Amino acid sequence: MAEPDSFDQRLQRRENRRHPLDTVPVDSEPHGNIPNTPLVASIISFVLGALFSLGTLLFLSGGLVYPWWATYQLGFFLAAWSAFHWGEFAVTAGWNRDKCSVDSFLLDNGVTYHIANGSALVEYLITLYLKPSLKTFSYVSQLGIALVLSGQILRTAAMIHASTNFSHSVAFRKRESHELVTNGVYSWSRHPSYAGFFYWALGTQLVLQNAVCFIGFAITLWQFFSRRIRAEERALVKFFGNDYHAYRRRVGTRIPFIP
pLDDT value at position 13?
A: 56
Q: How confident is the model at residue 3 (pLDDT cuts 50, 70, 90)?
A: low
Contact 192, 157 (CB under 8 A): yes
pLDDT value at position 15?
A: 54
User: Which residues constitute the domain of residue 123?
Assistant: 21-250
Specify if 244 maps to a domain: yes
Specify if 33 maps to a domain: yes
pLDDT tens per residue across span 26-48: 767 888 899 999 999 999 999 99
Specify if 258 maps to a domain: no
Specify if 230 maps to a domain: yes
Specify if 222 maps to a domain: yes
* Alpha carbon of residue 174 to chain centroid: 23
| End-to-end CA, the chain | 62
What are the start-end ranges of the E strands in 105-237?
none
For residue 163, the domain's CATH number is 1.20.120
Specify if 9 maps to a domain: no
- With a pLDDT cut of 70, the percent of the chain lying above it is 92
Q: Is the pLDDT of residue 4 over 70?
A: no
Specify if 30 maps to a domain: yes
Backbone angles phi, psi at 243, to 5 degrees: -60, -40
Tally of domains within the chain:
1
Nearest 5°: the CA angle 12, 15, 16 is: 85
pLDDT tens per residue across span 161-171: 999 899 888 87
pTM of the model: 0.91
pLDDT value at position 232?
A: 95
Specify if 255 maps to a domain: no
pLDDT value at position 10?
A: 57
d(CA 68, CA 56): 17
